[in-house]
Amino acid sequence: MTALTLVSHGLCPYVQRAAIALLEKGIAFERITIDLDDKPDWFKALSPLGKVPLLQVRRPGAPDAVLFESSVICEYIEETQPEPALHPADPLHKARHRGWMEFGSTILADLWGYETAKDRDVLEAKRAALAAKFARVEAELGAGPFFAGETFSLVDAVYAPIFRYFDVFDRIAETHVFDGLERVTAWRQALATRPSVLAAAPCDYADRLMAFLERHDAALLRLPNAGGRGA
């Protein structure tokens, strides 16, 4: 039995960022995937917010501890498993990284609106908001391949699950979110082949996301050039 259990959902990007951090550290962990539409009682008892991820930490001679909120989980992983470091050592640089992690969370909020939009006007408004935010990220990036150059960090763990959405969206229709954003595009490509990123989501992630879009009658699926599952 491992000391850590990550309670997950197959599509949750916040779960993925915690999984990436664990995988980058080389920490063995168990993973339990639940259905958020039919939450088990044991999960409701453990999760104050009713959300994933949860990290259960087994402690010899003491009750298991439960951590919630992905940012808290990632910080705990970083503090208890210092190598390889996923945060800069300099306090100012670390604070800036945390700020861009929060910025990534605001992108996820717009992504939710984009993927669940049921009419074209809302879809376009969310697409424009996403493009504007990635333009801000473009201005922050350097030579790459990662957010902080050669070193993979928790900022990368936050944005990799965001880019994963677009791997599926691009099979449906052109979003034009990354048009003209060369550095963001290169960053996206570098993260897509990172072993921890590849292992952070289930192998049927694309099918799960397509099913989610269909259940929500997503306007994205009805764009003129949308190809659906056969794209």
Give catalytic residue positions. Answer: 12
130: Cα within 13 Å, side-chain hemisphere: 25
Q: Is the CB of residue 193 less than 8 Å from the CB of residue 199?
A: no
DSSP label of 74: H
Radius of gyration over every alpha carbon of the chain, rounded to an integer in angstroms: 18
Question: Using CA atoms, how far apart are residues 196 and 224, in angstroms rounded to an integer?
Answer: 35
Question: Using CA atoms, how far apart are residues 115 and 107, in angstroms rounded to an integer?
Answer: 12
Q: Which two tokens stand for residue 59?
A: 């402690």
Q: Which two tokens stand for residue 72?
A: 């808290």
CB-CB neighbours of 192 under 10 Å: 14
Q: Is the CB of residue 171 less than 8 Å from the CB of residue 223?
A: no
Buried b (16+ CB within 10 A) or exposed e, 22-45: bbbbeeebeeeebeeeeeeeebee
